[in-house]
Amino acid sequence: MGATINPQGTLAGKVAVITGASRGIGDAIARRYAMEGAKVVVSARTVESGDHYLPGSINETVAQINAAGGQAIAVKADLGVAEDRQGLVAAALDAFGAVDVLVNNAAITYFIPVTEFPEKRFRLMMDVQVWAPFELAQLVLPGMRERGSGWILNVSSHAALHPEKLQPGRGSTVYGMCKAALERFTTGLAQEVYDDGIGVNVISPGLVATPGVMHHKLINESNEARVTPVEHMAEACLRLCHGDAQELTGRIDYADAVMEEFSLNAATLI
């Protein structure tokens, strides 16, 4: 049986906002959530195919979800811009109602050594990868608290971990800083909203052959055996956004570990 939309699925009737969803992991998460009945708000900067040098766009993702019988809208948002961050949540409210699930997946990354890193790009990375998840959480939390339920999932990276040994790197210090901050934000917020029925988790995908990963040439002979399908990440992200929020919160997780812990089988995506 092929991939289908289940209107009575795990996320039936829920409104999910996914950032960075024009391609790669965000696109896969949007499709997987839609398959489980979620009304999906697909957000990124790339609206139409050809707007970006990498393939994929939010209009393509939305068109394919809706063609399969799901419900989705596209909202252009540059998360480095305050008006766009606020407008994203406002658009979700206007289209579908209060947000039940927020997935902070968007990222902008420059691999530049510390001694050469320009302030403008440093601030942009911090705005998109740290401040935007923080502010978007601020915007959706009042509604979640009012309903006594909700989920926030932040997408991190193994770059958040301290290097196992000192050896020549390739300019990933600022990226690691951003992801480490995102992980500490996640566990702190999980503690703050523990009594409100809101689960807050962070997940790292491992090595997935997304367009961005391929562009930065992050897959090579030494690590190609560890590449995992994007469907595994989407499945793990689904699992961390339903269930008992007090039992499944404050976790710093990895896609392969979630797949194993919950004995998950990755679904084929629409």
Question: For position 248, which CATH number holds?
Answer: 3.40.50.720
Does residue 148 belong to any structural domain of this protein?
Answer: yes
Does residue 5 belong to any structural domain of this protein?
Answer: no
* pLDDT tens digit sequence for 174-223: 999 999 999 999 999 999 999 999 999 999 997 776 655 554 556 566 55
Does residue 134 belong to any structural domain of this protein?
Answer: yes
Collapsed DSSP state (helix, strand, coil) of residue 151: strand
- What one-letter code names the amino acid at 206? G
Nearest CA-CA partner of 12 in 242, 180, 201: 242
pTM, two decimals, is: 0.92
Among 110, 175, 194, 254, the active-site one is 175
Collapsed DSSP state (helix, strand, coil) of residue 157: coil
- What one-letter code names the amino acid at 259? M
Distance CA(124)–CA(175), nearest Å, equals: 11
Does residue 158 belong to any structural domain of this protein?
Answer: yes
Domain count of the chain? Answer: 1
Work out the angle between the directed axes of helices 24-35 and 230-239 (0-180°, nearest 10). Answer: 50
Does residue 266 belong to any structural domain of this protein?
Answer: no
The mean pLDDT of 63-82, rounded to a whole number, is 97
Which residues constitute the domain of residue 252?
Answer: 15-261
33 in catalytic set: no
What is the chain's percent helix, strand, coil content, to nearest 5?
45, 15, 40
The mean pLDDT of 218-236, rounded to a whole number, is 76
Read off φ and ψ for residue 150, nearest 5 degrees: 160, 165
Mean pLDDT of the chain: 92
Does residue 64 belong to any structural domain of this protein?
Answer: yes
Distance CA(45)–CA(72), nearest Å, equals: 16
What confidence score (pLDDT) does residue 163 get?
A: 86
Does residue 71 belong to any structural domain of this protein?
Answer: yes
The dihedral built from the CA positions of residue 143, 144, 149 and 155, taken in this order, carries a sign that is positive
Does residue 225 belong to any structural domain of this protein?
Answer: yes
Proportion of the chain above pLDDT 70, given as a percent? 89
Nearest CA-CA partner of 93 in 44, 143, 57: 143
